[in-house]
Amino acid sequence: MDKRKIDILVLSDLHLGSFGCRAGELLTYLRSVSPEKVILNGDIIDIWAFNKKYFPKEHMRVVKKLLKWSAKIPVYYITGNHDEALRRYSPAQLGNLHLVDKLVLEIDGRSHWFFHGDIFDATMKNAKWLAKLGGFGYDLLMRLNHWVNLALTLFGRPRMSFSKRVKDSVKSAVNFISDFETTMVEIALNEGHQAVVCGHIHQPRISTIRSAHGTVDYLNSGDWIENLSALEYTNQRWTLYKHELMEEPIDDLVDAEDLLFSAV
């Protein structure tokens, strides 16, 4: 199968090791592209949800694919809040694999600032316990959503996303997303960047945002739980990729110790 050539691939919020991760679709996508550079923009492995009794084989295959890429091309792993335990080791480099907290790249003459986005989230800074509690509740919601979608599929009804409906309908969530984007733009302008690329809020988007201080391109790579999205840079242009949902998977499990062994 011919693979699509991509100059830069940006992925975030995979949440490998959590129940909601759509690793099967992610693996299908990864096998269809051939990037020259990969940026993993936070929350790749969900350490908050990590349980040695739950690490499906599809999740393991995604890790192997990313490691295989890192043997040939630059792969930047930017830390997020769900994998913040890795920040104690950052910055670090192993061959083409770079562990960093943020990244600045000059792309076709324009300064791009890559970071996950959680460090500018007031909830993360001032009430981390509340954020973690929300994370556990989110994972529980994904488990419930999984079984509901199995039943809907059985009766020939379309699937639904509980969390997406909540975000779309609750005014405070909409305001939070807007405030997050505005904050990212203002900080990027202050730092002298023309584009800011983040994740964290699971809302894929490419837009040009204007403020009183200037104009910045805002890009968010989304997630692989609800939106199944990625950012692709090819021919001097950013595009947003969205993958189609497959049937709800019933994952085979693999012990987490096997993951550590295979990554060595």
Mean pLDDT comparison of 65-74, 203-212, 249-258, highest-scoring range: 65-74
Query: pLDDT averaged over the chain?
Result: 80
pLDDT of residue 196: 94
Average pLDDT over residues 94-98: 96
- Burial group, residue 151, by CB count within 10 angstroms (0-12, 13-18, 19+): exposed
Strands 229-234, 8-11: pairing is antiparallel
**How far apart (Å, rounded) are the C-alpha atoms in residues 117 and 82?**
12
**How far apart (Å, rounded) are the C-alpha atoms in residues 100 and 118?**
14
pLDDT of residue 50: 76
pLDDT of residue 14: 96
Longest dimension (CA), the chain: 54
Mean pLDDT comparison of 148-162, 201-215, 217-231, 243-257, highest-scoring range: 217-231
Higher pLDDT, 17 or 131: 17
Average pLDDT over residues 156-174: 55
Say yes or no to pLDDT of 150 above 80.
Answer: no
Say yes or no to pLDDT of 90 above 80.
Answer: yes
Say yes or no to pLDDT of 131 above 50.
Answer: no
DSSP-assigned states of every residue in the chain: -PPEEESEEEE----BTSTT--HHHHHHHHTTEEES-EEEES-SB-STT-BTTB-BHHHHHHHHHHHHHHTTS-EEEE--STTGGGGGG-SEEETTEEEES-EEEEETTEEEEE--SGGG-HHHHH-HHHHHHHHHHHHHHHHHHHHHHHHHHHTTPPP--HHHHHHHH-HHHHHHHHHHHHHHHHHHHHHT-SEEEE-SS---EEEEEEETTEEEEEEE---SSSS-EEEEEETTEEEEEEPPP-SPP-PPB--HHHHHHHH-
Strands 92-94, 8-11: pairing is unpaired
pLDDT of residue 212: 78
Average pLDDT over residues 221-230: 94
Phi-psi region of 12 (alpha: psi -120 to 50; beta: other; left: phi over 0): beta
Q: Which of 211, 198, 259 is nearest to 42 (CA)?
A: 198
Residue ranges covered by each domain of the chain: 4-263
Do 55 and 255 touch, CB atoms closer than 8 A? yes
Higher pLDDT, 228 or 148: 228
Residue 182 pLDDT level (bands cut at 50, 70, 90): confident
CA angle 48, 58, 131 (to 5 degrees): 20
Say yes or no to pLDDT of 38 above 50.
Answer: yes
Question: Domain 4-263 is classified in which CATH homologous superfamily?
Answer: Metallo-dependent phosphatases (3.60.21.10)
- Cis ω before 91 (30° cut-off from 0): yes
**How far apart (Å, rounded) are the C-alpha atoms in residues 205 and 209?**
11
Q: Tell me which residue has tokens 């997050």.
A: 180
pLDDT of residue 264: 31
Say yes or no to pLDDT of 63 above 80.
Answer: yes
